[in-house]
Amino acid sequence: MNNLNSIIIEGNLVRDPLFRSTAKGTPLCTFSIASNRFYKQDTGIENEVSFFDVESWSKLAESCYNLGHKGRGVKVVGRLKQDRWAGPDGKQRSRVSIVAEHIEFRPEFKREESDQDDPSEAGASENAVTEDIAEMASVAF
């Protein structure tokens, strides 16, 4: 019987994804995400940032490479995997990473280029975009 090994994490890509293939030709995409945690402290609100390595395989790897880029928000559902090896100095090393089973990218909002002469109209559309972003940020995946 398998034990439970499941993780859900949200964050932003730290850098552009790296795409490669195994010797047998299976696509593999690796990337890192930063996940923020805010909490109250006596001096105010504190921010704790954690970084996680993620790997995705096959068609999911191709999608991650095509859709992902530095700074893009992402939600990863997967499992933890521990790699172990002996370092050059003979000491045992280990690393825990996330193997993605499902990935959702946050929507991206692009500013519309307009050649309007009235700056009040341009400001109104910027406010609408800002309100849309604030609304999306309040909605959980």
pTM for this predicted structure = 0.71
Give the CA distances from residue 92 to residues 80, 85, 96, in Å, rounded to whole numbers and listed in that order. Answer: 19, 6, 14
Closest CA to 50 of 90, 11, 80, 18: 11
Span 5-46, pLDDT tens digits: 999 999 999 999 999 999 999 999 999 999 999 999 888 998
Q: What is the CATH number of domain 7-108?
A: 2.40.50.140
Residue ranges, CATH 2.40.50.140, the chain: 7-108
CA gap 3, 101 in Å, rounded: 17
Rounded average pLDDT over 78-102: 95
